[in-house]
Structure 1
């Protein structure tokens, strides 16, 4: 093995064209790390925000990193070296992970590369029933849906609220997923079904066949009807879209129900929610190899399926980011490294 690899690096913030496919130093691992040969990496919204320098944030919150950066948190690949303290993995293992998130939120986690250094605690064996492309598409979206709906599994302070997020029992409940065709949304639909919920999937009409295939009980095309006027007596709304007017769902939710916000910025309905006795909650997804291991069987046996929007060679990451910026994504966009 040489001491260099190919990677997609960022030398300045900007649009998709600032992503440069070039030579970069091979990562060095510590005693608690694993070095992985990346076969595929997927694109997530934080990749786009960091590439752009988080311009939507106030200036004092924007990053001032040391360039060059390598973006990317999610990957699937094969272990090529292990640190001396690592006992759960061996060279040759097929693995997948979300790397050091949110710790590297402002600096990148280096998955857009031929090799990536990963803390062993972030890592899990890849489900044997799916390929590297599908496995690379899972981690951030799956962990987000899992930590919202199944198990938070950490006690780190919540950056968005004073109390910890708590998933609610879903067996026999009615759950509405807004943004059900996207990366988090389509996995949330499946996890809610797995837990015994009746699921209302809200997305544009292009996603109807997919969401019916993923066993959503009711599909609402938001371009034809406002979901909050169609759906009533909801136990839980998971809003995976965010943006303006998230509080519009509150009248559709039962007393003592819940509204979970994947992106809570801009929500202004806390007083109304309190009057209606509705819990509004959110959380920051965190890397967790144990949870990816727990979900492995669901991916293996097809209970949960990862949908791929499109794939691009690692060398064409700029084009993949342009696709990601177009919107109307169905599932995940994946970069193929090997």
Structure 2
């Protein structure tokens, strides 16, 4: 006895829907060709590894799911009893499908956080204090209560990150955008009461966010509390690396240079290291300190060339601190001004 076609699956191939299927397939093909061409245009240094792609995608999904759940929970609290509500499950898929999550600044932040984590975990562990506890533990027990409290905050933030108890930290602008996008994705139709509930929910979620949740905030508070003197900075930089505390290393440099955390993180993550060596010379760091920092980062980041660094070390040390400070001066300008300068100079080079 012949078995008839399954009506559920057969319905996807109804004649009336064939045109839509062809159009959708054509759109997918165009998107794949565009993606392939963009990928071919990238040089090896610009391509992301599979590991970075996977971790960025996982972080983005976790981030969006967490925000959407928070908004939905708050919306259901303010919605009148028995009122309609949205389905959570399709939200993330809908945001991906509509390209609502395509944001260069967000992608840049997530990639930087993933790179920082990978390099931190790969840094060589070098015990500089003998059998003494790690730098952060010692700082958390410091007689200076401000330093101790800031160090404990960093330890707590690290513990939450390891246990995945909290989502990725973002700037206020990026977080605001994702909250409103999640609220829009939860609408599910025209319903003024539900729209008002979602708007109130988004505002409640945003109100719960503080500047302390931005990337590097805890480490920056600790660096400011320490306020390292020039003679203290080298050991702190080296110990932060030997303890695999790359975020604290960035924060210490950021505070010493008077440059934003995000910019210093970008400098530290660059595989060439040109601006990092200049920054260290601007702080009048000695050869042994720069050499140890460079070797640690070369061991942790496969993109770095240890031989090139060794060959350049004499030239790096020949740079006078005053010349290095002059070369790095533009980094202390406001971010919007720097971006405008980069756009103008980029246009003139074309």
Work out whether the TM-score is over 0.5. no
TM-score w.r.t. structure 2 length?
0.26
Structure 1 or 2: more strand by fraction:
1
TM-score w.r.t. structure 1 length?
0.27
Question: Larger radius of gyration, structure 1 or 2?
Answer: 2
Structure 1 or 2: more helix by fraction:
2
